Amino acid sequence: MSQDDRAGQGSPYGGVGLNSLLPRAQLIDRFGSALILEEYGKTDLEIIAKKNPSILHQVAANVWNRIIQKAWHAVDPLQFASQFRTSDPRLYQAISTFLGIEVIRDIYYVQGWKSQKRKSSLVVELVVAWVYRNDLLLADITFIDPASPISAGERQFALQTHKGLGLLPTLLGNMECKAKELGCDQLTLTASMRDLVILFRRFGFAVEDSEMGRSGMEIGCGIPMERDV
């Protein structure tokens, strides 16, 4: 649904306002009426599972890995091996049922485009989730200026293709405020590549002191990071 389609339908975000994490005012200042947003919350989990199954799997996988690495429960690490092999977007349901917990307390997923909904016009994609045990997880973030491509030789990060919008500090500041409001223990994320570890360290994140953190740094991808609230 578009931003206009959502108007007047009430809050789809479970009442904790994760949609407030989006630097909405700055995006509107930048793109004005050309900005198109599609936003989804916890009541839209089935829609998210269809639109972006990999990210919903990633959210649950992050929780399961922290359960193991932090020894929150005595579990068989391979309990959900089949769901990991297939990248099952409903892994969160399996974990919730198995442990009698709520894996995803709330979630906010937004995509935004300039003028028209196509890949070349994407300006923002963001997934944030309030998850078990009590973390605020930055599962995915893209801020991009589609009019400003960067040549391969000028890129700071391996996955970078265009200039950003300078909104990451605002987003992380919003996350810290929301995490305090919710009484969260930590902000968490997974750096997809080693070069992004340097970026997130600037904002106080550290590589998780765990086997997964060490192996992620060694192979250069899938590196869990955390920061106390």
CB 154 within 8 A of CB 47: no
- pLDDT band for position 79 (cuts 50, 70, 90): very high
CB 137 within 8 A of CB 62: yes
Which tokens sit at 70? 């932090």
CB 62 within 8 A of CB 188: yes
Give exposure, 135-159, as e/b (b: 16+ Cβ within 10 Å).
bbbbbbbbbbbbeeeeeeeeeeeee
- pLDDT band for position 158 (cuts 50, 70, 90): low
Q: What is the distance between the alpha carbons of residues 57 and 94, in angstroms, rounded to a whole number?
A: 11
- pLDDT band for position 150 (cuts 50, 70, 90): confident
Best CA proximity match to 95, nearest among 109, 108, 79, 82: 79
Query: Residues, the chain, total?
Result: 229
- The region of weakest confidence among 11-20, 73-82, 105-114, 142-151 is 11-20
pLDDT higher than threshold 60 for residue 96: yes
pLDDT, average across residues 120-148: 96
pLDDT higher than threshold 80 for residue 216: yes
Q: What pLDDT score does 16 carry?
A: 54
On whether the pTM is more than 0.85, the answer is yes
pLDDT higher than threshold 80 for residue 174: yes
User: In the chain, where are the structural domains located?
Assistant: 3-173
What are the CA-CA distances from residue 172 to residues 8, 83, 169, 178, 227 (Å)? 28, 31, 5, 10, 11
Q: What pLDDT score does 152 carry?
A: 78
pLDDT higher than threshold 50 for residue 130: yes
Q: Report pLDDT digits (tens) over 19-46.
A: 999 999 999 999 999 999 999 999 999 9
pLDDT, average across residues 147-154: 81
Q: What pLDDT score does 1 carry?
A: 36
Peptide bond into 133 cis (omega under 30): yes
DSSP class per residue in 131-177: ETTTEEEEEEEEE--TT-B--GGG-SSTT--B---S-HHHHHHHHHH
- pLDDT band for position 156 (cuts 50, 70, 90): confident
